[in-house]
Structure 1
Amino acid sequence: MNEWNDIAVLVPVRDIDIASVPLLREQVDGLIDMGMRRIIINCQNVAFIDSTGLAFLLACARRLARGEGLLSLVNASANVIRFIQIARLIDVLHVRPAQKTALPVLSAGVLPKWNKTLSVTGGIECLGAYRHRVSELLATLPMTADARFDTALAAGEALSNAFDHAGGVGCSMTVQAYPDRVVIEVRDGGAGFELSADQEIEASEERGRGIKLMRMLVDSVDVSRRRDVPGTCVRLVKLIGAAAA
């Protein structure tokens, strides 16, 4: 961190997400309390920002603005800029995803081309690694870079929710590649939660943007109680290739 009079520069060492936000919030709160009016966040090490990171940045920007200050992000990658462009609509407007056509039904007997289960053994500090692993897996498929980024970000949101609401208990993630789609399932061992396809979640300053963001990023989001054990299963579907056109 560098300081010049009433200007400070923060350089997060990793993604701005549910794992890194507590420390960043502590740093920013301390700077504002010291009288800093301009805070610059250098994103040179940031590949992803999740909904918790978005809430944090919005809260900081609003707090600084009340004191005629300013929050800025610099050295942002194309993916980070894309996220900001998408996510800022969630707060600026009441956004609903465009009406989507029903997902094509998979023919009977169609099996996935591959099926990968990611071992979710670490805590929230490992969220970035899981997002990057999903992105690596999707790089083998005929998806655009934007589609890979969107899908990895949505998977990270689902896993972040599992850590947030279930404390990471019983978490697992599977990624399945079919000829026309990617199916990602994130399960946890919490109390269980269910959400209908058209049900909205009211966002507070700190929470509630994850589901909205997932719905904007992929073609289908299903949130349901697990049938095998207590917990929640979030199922994400992203069409690929010609099916996504």
Structure 2
Amino acid sequence: MLIVSDCMLVPVRSDLDLTTAPVLRQHLDRIVEGGCKRVILDMDGVEYVDSTGMAMILAESRAMRNRGGLLSLANVSENTMRALSIGCLTSFIPCTQKPEAVGAVAPLKPGVTPKRRLTIKIDAGNLEASRARLRELLVMLPLTDEEVFDMTLAAGEAMGNCVLHTPEACGFLTFAVFDDRLVIEAVDNGPGFSIASDEEPVPTLEHGRGIKIMRLLCDKVDIFRKPTGNGTVARMTKLFSSRGFGPVEEESWEAKIA
């Protein structure tokens, strides 16, 4: 039986052509029909996509959008990205290249302070309300609709961990807006957990996929124990791809959180 969740990572380990694309399409159809709202195709290992594969990706993306969801491609090789660009898919479907092609996220310069900062309490009894509050803030920032969708999901995973792994089911989200990026920290006071950036989580039937999902949706993810006291910090960084956080956006965001 296929277990369908709100967000699913689907590994693609072979080229997508006339023979392999229909098999993947059947699998994706079951996921979409199962109610999944976010599908990430992990394209690691794919070096060739023909017109049949492109048509399949486009059809599944449209099916998800019609249901209020989103499909995107991650870990796309340079050759595959070139083919998708020729096929005009990159203008319609979010695609990100392999990390080594994109480059590491540069650390903030010493002494740099956020232009805006806000902390909200996670409502353990109503995570939907917390996610709605999160979206209200994200749409005020220079992010695309897809990026708002992704950051809501990534932060939603972190919020769920705060509630799940804290005795009081309590946690806080802190938003820090810089010129070129958004940094969200989910902080709890549970037993504490850390994982190296190059360490892969061990998934089970119910747990372990959230970290991998966050890493694919964000530009950088750091998860570590709080420097003092008990608890875990999940720090998610999203770069502003097109433009910085300008004066107009500052005023709008400030009014929204007032």
TM category, shorter: 0.5 to 0.7
Query: Partners of 2:242 and 2:144 in 1: how far apart?
Result: 12
What is the correspondence of 1:132-151 to structure 2 with a 5 Å cutoff?
132-151=132-151
What is the correspondence of 1:49-128 to structure 2 with a 5 Å cutoff?
77=65, 80-82=68-70, 98-99=99-100, 100-120=102-122, 122-123=123-124, 125-128=125-128
Question: TM-score scaled by structure 1?
Answer: 0.60
Residue 241 of structure 1: SS of its match in structure 2?
Answer: coil
Q: Could you tell me which runs of 5 or more consecutive residues in structure 1 were left unpaired when the two chains were aligned.
A: 1-14, 18-37, 51-74, 88-95
Residue of structure 2 in register with 1:179 after alignment = 179
Residues 129, 77 of structure 1: alpha-carbon distance in 2 compared, 3 angstrom cutoff: farther
Question: Is the 8 Å Cα contact of residues 155 and 184 (structure 1) preserved in structure 2?
Answer: yes
Query: Partners of 1:220 and 1:42 in 2: how far apart?
Result: 30
Q: Could you tell me which runs of 5 or more consecutive residues in structure 2 were left unpaired when the two chains were aligned.
A: 8-29, 40-62, 75-96, 245-258
Residue of structure 2 in register with 1:204 after alignment = 204
Aligned AA for 1:106?
L
The root-mean-square deviation of aligned C-alpha atoms, in Å, is 3.6
Query: Partners of 2:33 and 2:70 in 1: how far apart?
Result: 17
- Deviations along 1:27-80, one digit per CA (max 9) or x if unpaired, are xxxxxxxxxxx9x9796xx9x679xxxxxxxxxxxxxxxxxxxxxxxx965585
Name the count of aligned residue pairs. 175
Residue 208 of structure 1: how far off its partner (Å):
1.3
Residue of structure 2 in register with 1:213 after alignment = 213
For the pair 1:192 / 2:192, whether they are aligned, the reply is: yes
Question: Is the 8 Å Cα contact of residues 42 and 76 (structure 1) preserved in structure 2?
Answer: no
Residue 222 of structure 1: SS of its match in structure 2?
Answer: strand
Query: Partners of 1:141 and 1:108 in 2: how far apart?
Result: 24
Residue of structure 1 in register with 2:152 after alignment = 152
Identity score, percent: 35
Residues 223, 42 of structure 1: alpha-carbon distance in 2 compared, 3 angstrom cutoff: closer
Residue 145 of structure 1: how far off its partner (Å):
0.7
Query: Partners of 2:194 and 2:120 in 1: how far apart?
Result: 23
Residue 186 of structure 2: SS of its match in structure 1?
Answer: strand
Larger relative contact order, structure 1 or 2 (CA cutoff 8 Å, min sep 6):
1
Residue 16 of structure 1: how far off its partner (Å):
5.5
Aligned AA for 1:190?
G
Question: TM-score scaled by structure 2?
Answer: 0.57
Query: Partners of 1:130 and 1:86 in 2: how far apart?
Result: 27
Query: Partners of 1:213 and 1:97 in 2: how far apart?
Result: 15
Residue 241 of structure 1: how far off its partner (Å):
3.4
Residues 82, 76 of structure 1: alpha-carbon distance in 2 compared, 3 angstrom cutoff: closer
Residue of structure 2 in register with 1:226 after alignment = 226
Aligned AA for 1:81?
G
